[in-house]
Amino acid sequence: MTETTGVKLPIEVREILTILPHRYPLVMVDRVTELVPGERIAGHKCVAYNEPWFQGHFPAHPIMPGVLIIESMVQIGGLLAHASDPAPGPQPKVVLFLGIDKARFRRPVVPGDRLDLSATALQRRGPVWKLRGEARVDGNLCAEAEMLAQVADRSP
């Protein structure tokens, strides 16, 4: 556990799967390495050549689709929102993606890259979060966006 937050790090993929509703092949966060509830989170996704989207995007020059880089940032932001507002009672919560603004792609992500993900809370109004996400490889910015997410009751 970190002394300042009481959160045990790293958070591995098995625990991430208990929080996110996503499953293979759309689990886009392998590990959480930093977490300050209500403020910021960091983690990563290891990009492997055998991921299914590389068969068609693009066979001779594999590049991770931009929409999946955005999805990675959304998922790490969802983990921040979830950790900042843990569900009391028996009903588990889910984080819903509401929107995206100011998305920009700066460089391609290719097999073998470790996609370093981060999200920072910009604003919170009740269950709705406005987050800024970044994706980097080797310290170089690959993508950035502002995202809206909501913590909601999970349907039975």
Count the alpha carbons within 13 Å of 68 in the hemisphere toward its beta carbon: 22
Indicate if 57 belongs to the active site: yes
Structure tokens at 104: 């920009």
DSSP alpha helix (H) spans, 2-95: 13-19, 66-84
d(CA 2, CA 32): 13
Sheet holding 114-125, edge to edge: 11-12, 31-36, 40-46, 114-125, 128-137, 140-153, 93-105
Given the residues 22, 57, 61, 82, select the one marked as catalytic.
57
d(CA 74, CA 146): 9
d(CA 105, CA 95): 24
Structure tokens at 154: 């999970």
Residues annotated as part of the active site = 57
